[in-house]
Structure 1
Amino acid sequence: MEIDTFSIHCDELIGLIWAQLSRYDKMHLRLTSKSVSRSSDMLVTRLSEPLDWMRCTNSASAFERAVDRFPNLRMVVNSFMENSDVRALSKLRQLEKITSPSTSSTYGSSSRFINLPRISPHDRLDLSPLTSCLRLQHLEITMLKPCSLDISPLASCTHLKRLELRDKCVIHSNFSTLATCTALQYLSLRDCYTLAETLELAAFHELRTLHVLHCHLLQTINLSQCSALSELLVCYCPKLERLEAPQNGFPNLEKSNLCGCTAMSDLAFVMDSLMLLSLSCHQTNVRGLQPLEGLLGLKTLNISGCPVSSLSPLSSCLSLTSLSMTGCVLVSDVSPLADLRYLTFLDIRGCELVTDWSVLRHVQNLLFGIAHVDGS
Structure 2
Amino acid sequence: MTDTVLHVGGASPYDVVIGRGLAERLPSVLGDSVQRVAFLYAAELSQLAEPVLDVLRPAYDVLALGLPSGEQAKTADVAFECWDALGDAGFTRSDAVVTFGGGATTDVGGFVAATWLRGVRVVHVPTTLLAMVDAAVGGKTGINTAAGKNLVGSFHEPAGVLVDLDTLLTLPREELVAGMGEVVKCGFIADPAILDLVEKDPAAATDPAGDVLPDLVERAIRVKIDVVVADLKETGGAEGHPGREVLNYGHTMAHAIERAEGYTMRHGEAVAIGCCYVAELARLEGHLDDATAARHAAAFRAVGLPTTYDGTAFEDLLAAMRVDKKARGNTLRFVVLDDIARPAVLAGPSEENLRSAYDVMRGEKP
Query: For this structure pair, what is the TM-score category when the shorter chain's length is used for normalisation?
Result: under 0.3
Alignment TM-score, normalising by the size of structure 1: 0.27
Q: Of Structure 1 and Structure 2, which has the larger fraction of its residues in strand?
A: 1
Higher relative CO (Cα under 8 Å, sequence separation at least 6) belongs to: 2
Q: Of Structure 1 and Structure 2, which has the larger fraction of its residues in helix?
A: 2
Q: Which entry has the higher C-alpha Rg, 1 or 2?
A: 1
Alignment TM-score, normalising by the size of structure 2: 0.27
